[in-house]
Structure 1
C-alpha cells in the first residue's frame, strides 16, 4: 500500500475526448470527456489496477520515464499519481467480523463507560497504522 506515479499517454479523440493508457501496466486504460475528466479517470483506474496488484501480491513494475515513452503525433504523456491506501478506504470498506480476547476487568470497565468496542478498535488501528 503506497503512493505511486506512472506515466499515462493521452490520445486526443473526436469532440475533445481523450483515450488514456498506462504503458507500464497491462490492462490499465481509460478515457475522458476532457483533459480534466481524463486525469480524474486515470487516477481512479491507476489506483484500481495497483490495488489489485497489491491484493494479489503481484510484482509492481517500475514506472517508465516520460522521455522513454514513444508518442504518436498529437499524443502527450503525463505522470498520474494515486494512493492505494486512500483507494482502499474509499472502496474497500466492507465490515469484517473479528474475534478478540480481553481481560475481564477491561471488558467490564469499557462496558460501564458504554464504549463501542468496534469503534474504539477501529480508531486504535487507524492511529497505529498512520503512526508507522
Structure 2
C-alpha cells in the first residue's frame, strides 16, 4: 500500500542575527543550516533547503522527524524562531524535471557532421531516449 506523502512540511528554524553578518538559519530538528543577506533572502533560502531535505528523506525512505513546537525551542541572544514551510508538490515536480549531465562518446566524424548541421545534442538524445523507452 502506497503511503500518501504530505503536501506541506512545517519546521521551526532559528534565525540568528549578528551585526555585519548574514542571517544564519538553523533547522534544529533536521541538523541543517543556511543563511541569507536579509530576512527575505534567509526565509527563501530556508524554504528551499527545507524542501530539498524533505524530498531527500522521502526519496531515501528515511524516517521524517517530528518538528519541535516553537514554544519548546531554547533561544540565545540575537535569535528568533520562524515556522518555515515547504510546499512539496512543487518541490517534487522540480526534482523530477531536473536536468542532469551525462557524458557521451561519439565517433569524431559523427560529432563533426552533427556540429556542422547545428544539431542540438541534448535535444536529440532526449528524443531518441524517449523513443527507445516508449515514453
TM-score category of the 2 structures, normalised to the smaller one: 0.5 to 0.7
For the residues of structure 2 that align with 1:61 and 1:35, how far apart are their CA atoms?
A: 26
Which digits, 9 at most, give the CA deviation of each residue in 1:45-72, with x for residues without a partner?
A: 0000010000000000111101110000
Matched, 1:22 2:27: yes
Which digits, 9 at most, give the CA deviation of each residue in 1:79-130, with x for residues without a partner?
A: 0000222112123315885957xxxxxxxxxxxxxxxxx5xxxxxxxxxxxx
For structure 1, the 5+ residue unaligned runs are: 101-117, 119-132
Asked if the contact 2:18/2:78 (under 8 Å) is kept, the reply is no
For structure 2, the 5+ residue unaligned runs are: 99-125
| Candidates 81, 87, 90, aligned match of 2:85 | 81
Secondary structure of residue in 2 paired with 1:14: coil
| Candidates 52, 59, 63, aligned match of 1:55 | 59
TM-score normalized by the length of structure 2: 0.66
- C-alpha RMSD of the superposition: 2.1
Aligned residues: 100
Matched, 1:5 2:17: no
The aligned residue for residue 45 of structure 2 is 41
TM-score normalized by the length of structure 1: 0.68
Asked if the contact 2:14/2:25 (under 8 Å) is kept, the reply is yes
Where do 4+ consecutive residues of structure 1 move more than 3 Å?
94-100
